[in-house]
Structure 1
């Protein structure tokens, strides 16, 4: 059996906290983020952008950045909105969500920019 790595996330250490599956992987570079956005668009999902302060990241409520981008197929426009949200809220976590129209649920959810831990 392979050795499973232990992630030393602790509530007492905000910098160690994880947020979902992708947060345990190395940070994505710009090309990898683009591929995730392309995948969301290719599957006809509606992208949405949310942000929050790092100390509230475990809350169910994140601030919506504008309205969901219903029907948006321009990958560069989605990436530009992610950057605009990050530029306007540089200390916040910024995540991209892909809403699946068929199941009417979140099909994708990933933190693209990680804020400054408190």
Structure 2
């Protein structure tokens, strides 16, 4: 049997905090982010973009960037909105959501850009 590794994530140390499953992996490059967006579109989910200050990521609701992109199927348009949100809020975490109409819930949720703790 293999040994399970403990990940030293602590609330007292902001640099170790993790936001979701992907945050335990190395940071995604542009191609990997594109593949995640393509997967959301392929599943027919509606993309949404949210952002928040790193110090409030676990305590508050995230701010919605515009409205969810209902019915958007252009991957480049979604990537452009992610970039626009990041440029407008460079110190904030920016996450991509995929809303599943069938289950009426989030089918995907990942932090694409990480803000820096001040």
Length-normalised TM-score, structure 2: 0.97
Structure 1 vs Structure 2 CA RMSD: 0.9
Length-normalised TM-score, structure 1: 0.97
2:20 maps to what in 1?
20
Question: What CA distance in whole angstroms lies between the structure 1 residues aligned with 2:53 and 2:60?
Answer: 12
Question: What CA distance in whole angstroms lies between the structure 2 residues aligned with 1:97 and 1:8?
Answer: 27
Deviations 1:8-34 (A, max 9, x none): 111111111011111111111111100
> What does 1:86-105 align with in structure 2 at a 5 Å threshold?
86-105=86-105
Aligned residues: 118
1:44 maps to what in 2?
44
CA-CA distance at 1:59 after TM superposition: 2.6
Moved over 2 A (4+): none
Q: Which runs of 5+ in 1 are unaligned?
A: none
Alignment partner of 1:22: what SS? Answer: helix
Structure 1 stretch displaced more, 6-15 or 102-111: 6-15
Question: What CA distance in whole angstroms lies between the structure 2 residues aligned with 1:98 and 1:65?
Answer: 14
Alignment partner of 2:110: what SS? Answer: strand
1:77 maps to what in 2?
77
2:53 is the alignment partner of 1:53: yes
Structure 1 stretch displaced more, 60-69 or 3-12: 3-12
Question: What CA distance in whole angstroms lies between the structure 2 residues aligned with 1:35 and 1:84?
Answer: 19
Question: What CA distance in whole angstroms lies between the structure 2 residues aligned with 1:54 and 1:5?
Answer: 26
